[in-house]
Structure 1
Amino acid sequence: MPNNKREKIPEGTLCVVCSDFASGIHYSVASCNGCKTFFRRALVNKQTFTCQFSGDCVVGKSVRCVCRSCRLKKCFDMGMDPKAIQHDRDKIRYTKALKKKREEEKRLKEMVIKEDIGSPQSIASDTYINTSTPSSSTMINILENDHHSYDPEAQNDVKAVIEDLLRLESRVKSLRNSYRFESQVSATSCMYSSCLLDDITYMAENTHENEGTIEPFECSVEKLREWFVRDLSLMLEWGKCLPIMERLLLNDKLALMKAFAPIFPLIQLAFYTRNEFECDIVIKLEPDCTPKPIPERLNYPDGSFIEKGNKPANTWEEMHTMLIDGCYKMMRQLKIKESTFVLYKMLLFHNPDADGLSSLGKKTIENERMRLLTQLFSYLSTERGKEAQTIFSNLLMMSATLSKTASFIKRVFDFNHIFNRTNDLIDQLIIVGL
């Protein structure tokens, strides 16, 4: 084939690495420009990457920049040919934006070393934290525009958003902790009805604290399903209260709910798990301190728990092992407060790649997500100072773990659905569809 002609592929062909639209045949396979450039840069610059998890992270259109190690591995697995790279071409150079970012990071690092040399208080020493920064254009744009962190008006906007979300979260927690409410039967009809979180009578009847001592007991698959249905009911009510919903069509609202359905119960479980030894978790150690073990158990308000142990592979308990290591411990090591958690949860909900979104809905969600990303980084910069970039990077990494865990739970419930077709919210939002 002449060098001046690019091999054409059928319209709509997807990249074999990340499933974005392919731009052509690059290095022997159909791939997008992003994966093509990533593969060439990694090999030409002889870069090596290390996965922070188990080496099988999800590599998709929306999370392809999260783990470079697994992305490069998938490039090879899908047949990208390193021999096809033309090494005699001009050396790959950083874009102006990335070059500017690297210079700024170097300057800040030198300042930190001068100020804190020898300090044992660095968050980078934590066992469960990955200090590498995701090489995504989104991250670069936010870092370049971090002047919002010092804009009083922008800070007031972020605080107002967080205050509203915390008030909403308080109602959700009250219902979840009492678990007296009846779960929703139909997701579609729920979206048509008024929000129960705004119903004073309903909230008064369903938020009484449970009396008596709660004895812990091991969670069964049936109990897990019961709690997932409860959390999905709360997700629907929570979602209806979000400002973005007023600007979306019903089908777009349902598309967002379905995309977020496998993740919402998981992140609620990980963040709101409270163990009796929680106060013993050591985040930053003094030189003479010995860390105490973090409880490897997730629990629900009724006392049911899932404990990490030597379970056989491909069991539903394995899902909770991923959740404990990749989310529960991570959030405690990063000292994530509820104010950060509610903003992060909003960010995860605004998924422009959700199946079924209209073109207008997709554009609306994309704009809103970028605003939320900026707000989250701005808030972290104000609250956590020089730790903000590390925390922000690890939160983005955690989204890949949640996606992987969500895929696992879908398989668990899919198998259960074969023998027990209940047509509950799990079937409607996770397995079969509406």
Structure 2
Amino acid sequence: MATIKVEDLYEIEPKLKINEEVRPKTCVVCGDNTKSYHYETPSCYGCKTFFRRAVVGNKIYVCANNGKCVITKDTRCICRSCRLKKCYEVGMNPHAVGVMTLMKKKRMLQNSGIKQEITDIIEEKPSTSCIIMPMLKTNYDDYRQCVNEILYIEGKHEYLRHSNFCPYDEELSLLGSLYKKTSFADADKYHLVHVWPRIDIFSMAKMSGYRLAEVGLKSWFFVDLLLSIDYLKTLDVFQKLPIKDQFYLSLDVTITIAHISRNYYSFLMGSEIVIHPDGTYPFIHRENLMGIETILRAGKVKSVRQLNPDRIHFCLMKAIAAFTSTSLNISQESHMMIEKGKIKYAKILLHYLQEKHGVKEGASKFADSLSLISEFVTLTKKYSNVYHSFRHCLDKTRSEQKLPCELRDCNSKFCEKC
């Protein structure tokens, strides 16, 4: 009886005649004997089949040994995660793995004139790794693309904070900022500031935002809010929302995003409190702080330091926060899109942390990350919004920018004609 092997249903690599002198002798994945190239790499039949199944099945594994397993022909079945990682490291090309159409499979089976007999050569020994989630669509491609996109966006955000980009407009509204071209698109027009202007803090406190911009200093609260809105505008899910729902999502999450950004970069600067690139910090001109001002100056820098996120970790947390909204003014359809975006970034963060730290520690760091995001939301709702509204009531003479006023007022209403 003829046998149809499962590899015949998937194999699309051309079967080339190779001179015996140039044939490989060793599988670069596990070290076993081989005479063949599979998916552009010298590899044995077992590693070829393992890699194909992982790619076709969109599998992702997590190592129980922090990704440190040594792969040999004797240990290759112990950890699928490290084996798959080794496949990629030695150059196996996932794009070379093809899947035949269902009709072509049926024709092959019908033409054989016999019932299907599948020879499964995959080893079924227990593995120390486990599957935590299916990879997004095409193995690592979408995962990496998503991470690369948010890293690129964050690079623009950080660059503008450290550049001579000094926007200030007391009349700019939230809706107006949504219609404006994002500042990230013009980031290359600005240059990094290596030495910031030095001005007496008490003189600085008396300057208007326009005057600060003239001397090369930023109104940091305004700048961080504007950059946070521009950050939102670069995200695909946000761009797909109707303008009304963009307005209400921005209203709900912009200040939180600003807090996350300034606290993370303060942590990178080695500070114990929130500090800006020019060395200033919140309420720098005030000697006797109120309790709420002390809380806002300290921010969550210590909590960030305790979590100790790297750049990818931080960027994914920030993306999750961007879609952490409880606004009742957003349409149900948009809420579903927002939640889907949040889940996407959360899955990637969990996968990333478990790949980096192992299953148990990675899951713990993931839970700590979500908890810290909740702390930033509380910092916004309980302290920032309350404080600025309180100060505004005490001091009616001070100049107020329209954008911060709208963002801290949860009752702000969308009006396209405004």
In which range does the TM-score fall when normalised by the shorter chain?
0.5 to 0.7
Larger of the two Rg values belongs to structure: 2
> Aligned pair 1:410/2:385, yes or no?
yes
The residue aligned with 2:159 is 174
Counting matched residue pairs gives: 269
Instruction: Give the superposition deviation at 1:194.
Output: 2.8
2:45 aligned residue: none
Verify the 8 A CA contact 1:149 1:378 in the aligned structure 2: no
Larger RCO of the pair (alpha carbons < 8 Å, separation 6+): 1
Query: Of 237, 261, 279, which aligns to 1:303?
Result: 279
Whether the aligned pair in 2 keeps the contact of 1:297 and 1:307 (CA below 8 Å) is no
Structure 2 Cα separation of the partners of residues 245 and 147 of structure 1: 28
Deviation per CA, 1:307-339: give whole Å up to 9, x if none. 99x976633122333x2xxx3223223320111
What is the TM-score of this pair, normalised by structure 2?
A: 0.56
Could you tell me which amino acid in structure 2 is paired with residue 380 of structure 1? L
Q: Is the 8 A contact 1:316 1:409 kept in 2?
A: no
Asked if the contact 2:164–2:193 (Cα under 8 Å) also holds between the matched residues in 1, the reply is: no
CA shift, 1:421, in A, is 5.8
Query: In structure 2, how many angstroms separate the alpha carbons of the residues matched to 1:411 and 1:220?
Result: 21
User: How far does the alpha carbon of each residue in 1:325-382 deviate from its partner, in whole angstroms, 9 at most, with x for none?
Assistant: xx32232233201111111111011134224201111111122222221111011111
In the superposition, the TM-score normalised over structure 1's length comes to 0.54
| Equivalent position of 1:367 in the other structure | 340
Equivalent position SS for 1:343:
helix
Q: Structure 1 residues 248-257 or 155-164, which shifts more?
A: 155-164
**What is the aligned counterpart of 1:425 among 382, 403, 406?**
403
Out of 375, 378, 382, the residue aligned to residue 401 of structure 1 is: 375
Q: Following TM superposition, by how much is the alpha carbon of 1:297 offset from its aligned partner in structure 2, in angstroms?
A: 2.7
Q: What is the CA distance between 1:423 and its match in structure 2? A: 4.1
Map residues 217-366 of structure 1 onto 2, 5 A cutoff.
226-273=219-266, 278=270, 296-306=272-282, 314-321=291-298, 323=299, 327-366=300-339
Q: Distance in 1 between matches of 2:226 and 2:290?
A: 30
% identical aligned pairs: 18
The one-letter code of the counterpart of 1:238 is Y
CA contact (8 A) 2:135 2:143 kept: no
Query: What is the match of residue 193 of structure 1?
Result: 180
Rounded to whole Å, the distance in 2 between the matches of 1:154 and 1:220 is 53
Gaps of 5+ in 1: 1-107, 113-144, 279-294
- Greater CA drift, 254-263 or 190-199: 190-199
The answer to whether structure 1 residue 377 and structure 2 residue 350 are counterparts is yes
Amino acid at match of 1:304: T
8 Å contact kept, 1:269–1:300:
yes
Letter of the structure 2 residue corresponding to residue 235 of structure 1: S
Shift of 1:217: 6.3
Structure 2's unaligned 5+ residue stretches are 1-63, 67-129, 210-216, 414-418
How many angstroms does 1:429 deviate by? 1.5
